[in-house]
A and B are shown apart, each in its own frame.
Chain A
Amino acid sequence: MIPEIIIRNAPALLIAVPMLAAFITPVIVRAGNGVMKAWALLATAATAAIAAIVAWQVLDFGTIVYTFGAAAPGLAVPLDSGGIPVRIIFTIDAMSAFMGIIATISAFAVCLYAVASEGRQTGQEIFFALLLLLEVGILGMVSTGDLFNFFVFLEINSIAGAALVSYRIRGGLSVEAAMKYGFISTLGGLIVLTAIGLLYGQYGALNMAMVASRMQFTMLDGIALAMLVAALAMKSGAVPMHFWTPDAYGLAPASVTAFLVVASQASLYGVFRIVFTLYGGIVQSLDWTTVGWIVIVLGVLSMFVGVTMAIPQHDVKRLMAYHAVSQTGYMLLGVGVGIALLGTSSFDTYGIVAMEGGIFHIFNHAMYKGLLFLTAGAIIYRTGTSDLNRMGGLGHSMKWTMLFFGIGALAIAGIPPFNGFASKLMIYESVYLFNPLLAVIAMVVSILTLASFVKVFHAMFMGPRLPEFAEVREVPAPMLLGMGLLAVIVVFFGVFPEQVVAGLVEPAARALADQGAYIASVLGGA
């Protein structure tokens, strides 16, 4: 069925295929624009298939370790090295496979959408090459088991992301946003590198499992933890370091924004991987409730600040960017409750449910936020404006876009039967048992989100048909297909949440919380 060589090397193919495609794209454009677009679509579809293969292998056989440059993939610890893994490895456990699926589905939908939406721009081969490189960066970040490799993929993310934000120059506005994004990303990356240097100087190893097994929590390790969490939270758009988010998300092309959301979530994955796997073994010296409460406070601040700053916005993409900040707060809240309960007895009753809710919310957020940004992009594509005060009455001519926007808006507000309801319900239930006030705040933020999106829906689609939009038709088919793919997933996950949670989310949450299994899979159970 599937050749053995592909299954054996699937983790490497996960980054090799989009990288090869990205390098060939500027060359293949000489055969025509259509050939290049078909090539990009083929590459993203192939990567999605490989991510599915990797996820199936991980869910059936446990954590996969892939060693680069060895004679066989499983040889993480060379026989003559004295028990030290020297090569760069990919450690794909259930959480990594979960994030990989999110990234590849999102990449395919965005590529489908961008085939039509970027059709009027010059230099499209650069756009698709950068999109594929951004996908490489995200997939590398979530799969790697080596700290410095994580940093390298983080920087690939930053550079490709900053270049994509400024893809449409638009008189210089998007260049401003891209410069802020580039500056802040680079500073964050340098802070991460300093922390990695500190950890290397202490323990002489860059492999995550190696550092985790040798970790004794000294003061320098505490400084490194604070630096890593602060820099990665900054890159994922959590308050109080979220100031780049409205500019970068608001001025990038809509397809790019839908994918930048996934890149921010990869940084969030980095926070979780550092806290749970790298520092997870020292329950005696690190006060888990403190760390958990710090994450919870970050989450609550993000939720609240995001939604309150979104309400007065009248640029539709900036409004959605603030909502992205707010939804990141939900993920931080869910996993923060899980962290605060780590090691206690109530972890297995409702702590794991909170973590599952937070992690499930990552997937749902990528899907419905991507869908919302793509619909906003469709409206801007046809009307040429992104100002809510000037739009109106588009429901008469853009029926499919209105339907997709409606699905996305109901999902983000947490209305059943869409996927936002499923993950938010898990978060509400478990957080209520932890601290009722937090659950009440989460529900209030949900109501404010609904109010905000009702306003946007009314401003964009309701009302009489406006004269200046008389010739507005529906958007081209590839854009509808891209949006349709995300909408189908939103509806499907909302109608069948049990299967998704049991099959994908729960293994991911368990893999994240179980540090011992991670170390054992790399170092051989010693």
Chain B
Amino acid sequence: MIANLPFIAVAVVALIGIVVILTRQNLVKMVMGLSLVEAAVNLFLVSLGYRNGGIAPIFTSAPAGEMVMPTVQAMTLTNIVIGIATTALLLSFVMLVYRKYGSADAGVMRRLKE
């Protein structure tokens, strides 16, 4: 049970993020919800690599014991960078919408019909 705790946390954070995206009206908060979902996926990736009793995977500290898997840590780092680029782009879009429409509310984005 305790070994599954990270995965339960992943599910909880992702659920909170999706609920925020679906229910909040403010565009900035929707972007924050997307950041929460990204954080959940990052946590999922890092906790996939854990091995019981392993140490940090640094080559020049290689002892006789076991290391945790380093591949997932590289994947998580890449995803964090991608998340920064996406968040920066989406926040710029929010700023432009605010500047052109005068409000950062999702209701203002209904100009595009069917």
Contact = CB atoms under 8 A, between A and B. Distances in A.
A175 B48 contact: no
A166 interface: yes
B96 A247 contact: no
5 contacts: A163-B89, A173-B112, A178-B93, A197-B45, A247-B112
A166 B48 contact: no
B93 A166 contact: yes
B45 A172 contact: no
Contacts of A251: 112
Interface of B: 21, 27, 30, 34, 37-38, 41, 44-45, 48, 71-72, 75, 78-79, 82, 85-86, 89-90, 93-94, 96-97, 99-101, 109, 111-112, 114
A155 interface: yes
Chain A interface size band reads 20 to 34
A176 interface: yes
A234 interface: no
A142 interface: no
Q: Binding site of B, secondary structure by majority: helix, strand, loop or mixed?
A: helix
Interface stretch (A102-110, A183-191, A366-374, A383-391): A183-191
Given A183-B30, A197-B45, 19 more contacts: A152-B82, A158-B86, A159-B86, A159-B89, A162-B93, A166-B96, A172-B97, A177-B112, A179-B27, A179-B97, A182-B89, A182-B90, A183-B90, A190-B41, A194-B41, A200-B75, A206-B71, A247-B112, A251-B112
B97 A186 contact: no
B79 A187 contact: no
A159 B86 CA distance: 6
Given A176-B109, A177-B112, A179-B94, A197 B100 contact: no
A200 B41 CA distance: 14
Contact of A197 (B38, B48, B96): B48
A183 B34 contact: yes
A434 to B, nearest CB: 34
Contact of A176 (B45, B89, B111, B114): B111
B41 A173 contact: no
A186 B38 CA distance: 9
B109 to A, nearest CB: 5
A309 B72 CA distance: 44
